[in-house]
Amino acid sequence: MLKPLALLLALAAPVYAQVRVVSPDGRNRVSVEIQQGRLYYSVQRDGRPLLLPSLLGFEFRGAPPLRDSLRLVDTSRTTFDEAWTQPWGEVRRVQDHHNELKVAVTETAPPARQFTVVFRVFNDGVGFRYEFPDQPNLKDFAVTDELTEFSMADDARAWWIPSNRPRLDRSEMLYSSSPVSVIDSIQTPLTMETRDGKTFVVIHEANLVDYARMFLSGPRMQSRTLRAALAPYADGTKVYGRTPFVTPWRTIQIADRATDLSPSLLGLKLNPPSVIPNTSWIKPMKYVGIWWGMHINTMTWSSGPKHGATTANTKRYIDFAAANGLGGVLVEGWNVGWDGDWIQNRNAFSFTRAYPDYDLAEVARYAHAKGVKLIVHNETSGGLENYERQIDSAYTLYQSLGLDAIKSGYVTDLVGEGHSHYGQYMVRHHRLVIEKAAQHGIMLDVHEPIHDTGERRTYPNMMSREGARGQEYNAWSSEGGNPPEHETILFFTRLLAGPMDFTPGIFDILIERGTGRPRRPDESRVRTTLAKQLALYVVLYSPLQMAADLPENYEHQPAFQFIRDVAVDWDTTRVLEGKIGDYVVVARRERNGSNWFIGAITDEEARTFDIPLSFLTPGRRYTAEIYADGPKANWLTNPLPVTISRRPVTAATRLHLALAAGGGTAIRIRRVD
Ligand code: NOJ
Ligand code: CA
């Protein structure tokens, strides 16, 4: 005789028809169900569909797809609520409060494989991943396709860069915007705004450890379903694995306003805690570098009369950094291998041997004596094997010289035998580098990286990366430079993945003084005002923040004081105003201090803002040091004027900001009592 409860459950069978889990605030709901043997999930926000039923599953080489004849066998739930302090970041504390649902399924027919999908539902979004337990009929496997879908209920507007070009330019493309129904193949993070303007959704991934990077392949017209598209090996395989195995998290960040998207902490919550016990050596800093000169052609990476990385030149940069309180000096082109076509000659790079005019040990000694860190450049040109062969000896050398920061580079489209720059082959390489760097006490700034999936939580030495079109394009791009709206898009797209080494701070906007000749009209230039260059230090977060221009271009420039003063590590971040592609106003309070900084930037439109300073501590007095676009400033015709003013402010003050076309405002608010 069945007990009443068991009877009820038996009658309600299939009891697992649809299982649900909601966010702690009840606003986000995930439903999971089987329809005709296939597993789907959907997402609702405030009771309205955001993602319609979206397929889950896989295709394998030499085995049937894991997709059909599925049956739910078990569900389990937990709640988690815990906070942690970041060693550095856009905010000091992160709260991870979520409800978790695990859904275990099995094939009802042979080979009767099993897997579990784990959903974590937060107030700021959803993460889910697949877990494959060890099992007789799923041991070693080769994924040929991940079938995960994101079926948008609304034909939302999306901001995207493509993923289906023969050359992907290492994610260094300009953004486009279109309804989701017409996008083709794109990279994540993919930011979308529903047509009613009421919901913002960002699809990305977290904790990419031993898998391929996820792109999204677009819906064929009339549909709004995006599908996971994994970056391949040369033979088309996406992922090699062996059970037990877990995939990265697929993340769906959800917000009511664009200004609520940043800082994006969802991905950090889906990465394991730090494995580096003592992080005291990991320090955010500003840096200058022997760098811009190569991009504007006044210096070379290669040896010869214009070689930038000489001992004498490096000492000059070290002196400049020390005199201005900047923490580091990057030196590119110091090591043997840059002569000739350095992209083709990827295997010629030595990571220990310097050019004869660069005395590495002496420069390291000099930097140390001046309290400046030397940032070692390791351009691999994608020669991973060449780099991995040398990594132990190189990192041992750097460590012995007290060098604890590396900027690496992967200027290439394919790696190894023709594998994607974004595939599992490359993901494994990056993980090896992060681990080796951690072992040798080295901080990393990776250029041409794979997108950030929150690695910095587990490895706080993984500090910054490029992975988007940065300042360098203003030196040489064929389009004439980044358009004025560029950074107002980056803030709501690329920067949601994590910090970006954009390299702000070019003062020689027309790139004339540096080159000693007037710029031709067809040449690239910086397409912002000078004040906007300052504002980027606050807007575009990076724990390694470059003062990118030549030191001589900062001399006798009163506006340079802002770069000296601006913090690089934050306690609190507030996005005060923002519209994707139009403008951003951000306020951040420095870590371990009471000063605030504001960065405001606009696209090609001039704009004004009234900013209440209610975030300041009531009853305290402050001085605002304001670096604003000067009279008649305009990015195109008159980019240089900056007006610097000071005024007393309190929590009751409203600041009126006037930004020129392509302009910005940068403010330090210093507490005076
Ligand atoms: C591209 C990087 O983005 C840039 O910063 C670097 O100078 C060159 N590669 C050379 O490594
Ligand atoms: Ca680059």
Give 409 Cα–ligand 1 centroid separation in angstroms: 6
Q: How far is the CA of 471 from the centre of ligand 2 (A)?
A: 9
Q: Relative to the CA of 448, which ligand 1 atom is closest? A: 3
- Nearest protein Cα to ligand 1, atom 6: 409
Q: What is the pLDDT of residue 205?
A: 98
Q: Is 670 exposed, middle or buried (0-12, 13-18, 19+ CB in 10 A)?
A: middle
Identify the helix (H) or strand (E) that includes residue 387.
helix 384-400
Instruction: Look at ligand 1, atom 7, and give the residue with the nearest C-alpha.
Output: 291
What's the rounded Cα separation, in Å, for the pair 668 and 589? Answer: 10
The answer to whether 202 touches 180, Cβ cutoff 8 Å, is no
Percent composition of the chain: helix, strand, coil (DSSP 3-state, to 5): 20, 35, 45
pLDDT of the residue at 49:
98
For a mutational test of ligand 1's pocket, the pick from 332, 375, 408, 549, i.e. the residue with the most ligand atoms closer than 8 A to its C-beta, is 332
Task: Identify which of 610, 622, 609, 590 has the alpha carbon closest to the alpha carbon of residue 663.
Answer: 609
List the residue whose alpha carbon is closest to atom 11 of ligand 1: 379
User: Which of 224, 213, 195 is closest to 53 using CA atoms?
Assistant: 224
List all residues whose CB is within 6 A of at least one atom of ligand 1. Answer: 291, 332, 379, 409, 411, 447, 466, 472
Q: Active-site residue 472, yes or no?
A: yes
CA-angle at 261, arms to 255 and 264, nearest 5°:
120
For tokens 């009369």, name the residue.
305
If one counts every other C-beta atom within 10 angstroms of the C-beta of residue 44, the result is 18
Ligand nearest to the CA of 377: 1
- Write down the pLDDT at residue 8: 46
Q: Which atom of ligand 1 is nearest to the CA of 377?
A: 11
Q: Show the beta-strand stretches assigned E in 505-613.
A: 544-546, 570-579, 583-590, 596-602, 607-612
H or E element at residue 54: strand 48-56
Q: What's this model's pTM, rounded to 2 decimal places? A: 0.96
Cβ pair 126, 99 in contact under 8 A: no
Least distant ligand from the CA of 333 = 1
Ligand 1 atom nearest residue 409's Cα: 11
- Name the closest-CA residue to atom 8, ligand 1: 409
Please report where in the chains the tokens 């006044």 appear, as a residue: 298
The CA 449 to ligand 1 mean position distance, Å, reads 11
- Torsion-angle region of residue 89: left (phi > 0), alpha (psi -120 to 50) or beta? left
Rounded-to-integer distance, Cα 655 and Cα 673, Å: 20
Under 8 Å between Cβ of 119 and 107: no
> Dihedral (C-alpha) 54, 60, 63, 67: value to the nearest 10 degrees?
0
For residue 29, the CA-to-ligand 1 centroid distance in Å is 43
CA distance 27 to 154: 18
Look at ligand 1, atom 3, and give the residue with the nearest C-alpha.
447
Ligand nearest to the CA of 407: 1
- pLDDT in the model for residue 478: 86
Report the nearest atom of ligand 1 relative to the CA of 470: 3
Q: Token digits for 587?
A: 């306020």
Q: How far is C-alpha 377 from the chain's CA centre? A: 20
Could you say which DSSP state residue 363 is in?
H
The residue whose CB lies within 8 Å of the most ligand 1 atoms, and thus the one to mutate among 172, 410, 411, 506, is: 411
Closest alpha carbon to 527 in 463, 596, 480 = 480
CA of 338 from ligand 2 middle (Å) equals 16
pLDDT tens per residue across span 135-164: 999 999 999 999 999 999 999 999 999 998
Taking 50 as the pLDDT cut, the residues of the chain under it are 1-15
| H-assigned helices in 151-309 | 266-269, 292-295
pLDDT for 479? 85
- Among residues 146, 332, 466, 472, the one annotated as catalytic is 472
Strands across the sheet containing 664-671: 570-579, 583-590, 596-602, 664-671, 622-629, 642-649
Could you tell me the distance, in angstroms and rounded to a whole number, from the CA of residue 138 to the centre of ligand 1?
A: 43
Answer whether 136's CB lies under 8 Å from 437's CB.
no
User: To test the ligand 1 pocket, which listed residue (381, 447, 500, 544) has its Cβ within 8 A of the most ligand atoms?
Assistant: 447
Write the pLDDT tens digit of every residue in 235-259: 999 999 999 999 999 999 999 999 9
What's the per-residue H, E or C state across 459-497? CCCEEEECCCCCCCHHHHCCCCCCCCCHHHHHCCCHHHC
- The first and second tokens of residue 641, run together, are 């004027």
